[in-house]
Amino acid sequence: MPSKVSKALNKLVKTQKKGIAWLIDPDKINSDNWNKIAELGNHKNLPDFIFLGGSTYTGIDLNPLVHKIKTLCPTVPIVLFPGSRFQLADEADALLFMSLISGRNPEFLIEQQVEVAERISQSSLEILPTGYLLVNDGEILSVHQQSQTLPLLNTEKQKILQTALAGKLLGMRYIFIDAGSGASSPVSSEIIELVKKRMDQTPLLIGGGLDSLEKIDKTFSAGADLAIIGNAAEKNPDFLVEAIAFKNWLNQRLFIN
Ligand X SMILES: CC(C)=CCC/C(C)=C/CC/C(C)=C/CC/C(C)=C/COP(=O)(O)OP(=O)(O)O
Ligand Y SMILES: O=P(O)(O)OC[C@@H](O)CO
Annotated binding-site positions for Mg(2+) = 25, 55
Side chain identity, residue 20? I
Name the DSSP class of 150.
Answer: P
Angle at 128 between CA 67 and CA 205, to 5 degrees: 95
Interacting stretch for ligand Y, rule CB under 6 A, among 42-50, 93-101, 190-198, 205-213? Answer: 205-213
**Residue 130, binding choice from ligand Y, Mg ion, ligand X, none, Cβ under 5 to 8 Å by partner class:** none
Q: Is 100 in the site for ligand X (CB under 6 A)?
A: yes
4, 93 contact by CB (below 8 A): yes
Q: Give the distance, in angstroms, between the CA of residue 79 and the centroid of all CA atoms in the same chain.
A: 9
- Residue ranges of the binding site for sn-glycerol 1-phosphate: 176-182, 208-209, 230-231
CA-CA distance, 26 to 215, in Å (whole number)?
Answer: 25
Q: Give the distance, in angstroms, between the CA of residue 151 and the centroid of all CA atoms in the same chain.
A: 17
Rounded to 5 degrees, φ, ψ at 182 are 80, 15
Interacting stretch for ligand X, rule CB under 6 A, among 3-11, 98-106, 153-161, 167-175? Answer: 98-106
CA-CA distance, 191 to 152, in Å (whole number)?
Answer: 11
Rounded to 5 degrees, φ, ψ at 202 are -80, 120
**Residue 28 or residue 43: which is nearer to ligand X going by CB?**
28
Helices and strands (H, E) in the chain, number of each type = 11, 9
**Residue 219, binding choice from Mg ion, ligand X, ligand Y, none, Cβ under 5 to 8 Å by partner class:** none
Q: Is 181 in the site for Mg ion (CB under 5 A)?
A: yes
Name the DSSP class of 110.
Answer: I
Residues in the chain: 257
Q: Is 129 in the site for ligand X (CB under 6 A)?
A: no
* Partners of residue 132 on adjacent β-strands: 100, 176
- Count interface residues toward ligand Y (CB under 6 A): 14
CA-CA distance, 126 to 146, in Å (whole number)?
Answer: 26
Map residues 16-55 to x or -, x wherever contact with Mg ion holds by CB under 5 A.
Answer: ---------x------------------------------
Q: Is 151 in the site for ligand Y (CB under 6 A)?
A: no
Which residues 17-76 are close enough to bind ligand Y by CB under 6 A? 23
Q: How far is the CB of 83 from ligand X (least distance, A)?
A: 4
Q: How far is the CB of 132 from ligand X (least distance, A)?
A: 5
Q: Is 85 in the site for ligand X (CB under 6 A)?
A: yes
Which residues contact ligand X by CB under 6 A?
25, 53-56, 81-85, 97-100, 108, 112-113, 116, 132, 142-143, 146-147, 181-182, 230
Name the site residues for Mg ion (rule: CB under 5 A). 25, 181, 230
Contacts with ligand Y, residue ranges (CB under 6 A): 23, 178, 181-183, 207-210, 228-232
